[in-house]
Amino acid sequence: MTAPINARSFLANVPLFKELAPDELDRIAAFTQQVRAPRSEILFHRGDEAKGFHIVVFGQVKLAFVSAHGDEKVVDILGPGQSFGEAVMFMERPHVVTAQVLVDSLLLHVQREAVFDELERDPRFARRMIAGLSRRLHDLIGDLEANSMRSGTQRIIGYLLHACSPSSAQDGGIEVTLPATKGVVASRLNLTLEHFSRILHELAAKGLIEVRGRSVHIRDVDRLRGFDP
């Protein structure tokens, strides 16, 4: 299902490919295919070969470890503009996580060859790629720190604060909407759904937040930030 024309215009808006010359974009587009995936579809499993990497155009994808026993731990929840699978593609290794689509989505799949070729040609592209990997690495270290040095409550607070950081600091508080079901977010934070639920209610009981379905209202950002110690 290759559709170079459409893919091209999407590509042009992905951070990674912005400012590429038209001919470069054409070459990339030639190796790119659109992937429509309905909710709950699995894009790849751990162990599958990585022939390229994915970009989310619209929709939502989760990356997760899945144990032999079926229980899973969500590594990340990805939305429009975000990409995944690059690292594993560069190493020419099988995927280490499983990617599952959370809501009906459109993705682009860029083949390895296109990226490798472009790296040879355009140092700016290489820089962009390096920047992307570095950012990922940085975020991952942040998660590692959170998981090993902070309590569940602290992780949730951190997550809420992070999720709302660029948003308008209205003085009536801030509204944060969880990107996925509570179960998925809980797992992303390395918590069980039950524990997540309890902590949310505890924070609500202390007047720090209000929860209505997936939307969390933070009454006072600073008070939430300076909580618990």
Partner DNA sequence: GCGCGGATGTGATCCAGATCATGCAGCACC
Partner DNA sequence: GGTGCTGCATGATCTGGATCACATCCGCGC
**Contact positions toward DNA, by CB under 7 A?**
71, 151-153, 181-183, 190-195, 197-198, 200-201, 211, 213-214
Q: In what order do the strands lie in the sheet with 209-212?
A: 174-177, 215-218, 209-212
Which listed residue (9, 40, 147, 177) binds a copy of itself by CB under 8 A? 147
Which listed residue (21, 42, 131, 169) binds a copy of itself by CB under 8 A? 131
Q: Dihedrals φ, ψ of 165, to 5°?
A: -55, -45
Q: How far is the CB of 68 from a copy of itself (least distance, A)?
A: 9
Residue type, 89: M
Q: Which stretch binds a copy of itself (CB under 8 A): 9-17, 84-92, 104-112, 212-220?
A: 84-92
Instruction: List Cα–Cα distances, 123 to 8, 25, 66, in angstroms.
Output: 21, 15, 37
179, interface contact from DNA, a copy of itself, none, CB < 5-8 Å by kind: none
Q: Is 67 in the site for a copy of itself (CB under 8 A)?
A: yes
Residues 6+ apart with CB under 8 A from 29: 4, 7, 8, 11
191, interface contact from DNA, a copy of itself, none, CB < 5-8 Å by kind: DNA
Q: How far is the CB of 229 from a copy of itself (least distance, A)?
A: 9
Q: How far is the CB of 152 from DNA (least distance, A)?
A: 4
Three-state SS for 31?
coil
Q: Which of 56, 43, 52, 51 is nearest to 15 (CA)?
A: 56
Which listed residue (6, 33, 190, 197) binds a copy of itself by CB under 8 A? 190
C-beta separation of 47 from 95 below 8 A: yes
- Give the C-alpha separation, 18 to 227, whole Å: 40
Q: What angle do CA 151, 225, 62 make, to 5 degrees?
A: 60
121, interface contact from DNA, a copy of itself, none, CB < 5-8 Å by kind: a copy of itself
Q: How far is the CB of 153 from DNA (least distance, A)?
A: 6
43-78 in b/e burial notation, b at 16+ Cβ within 10 A?
Answer: bbeeeeebebbbbbbebbbbbbeeeeeeebebbbbb
* Of residues 27 and 198, the one with the C-beta less far from DNA: 198
Task: Using CB under 8 A, list all residues that contact a copy of itself.
Answer: 65, 67, 73, 75, 86-88, 90-91, 93, 96-97, 119-121, 123, 126-127, 129-131, 133-138, 140-145, 147-149, 190
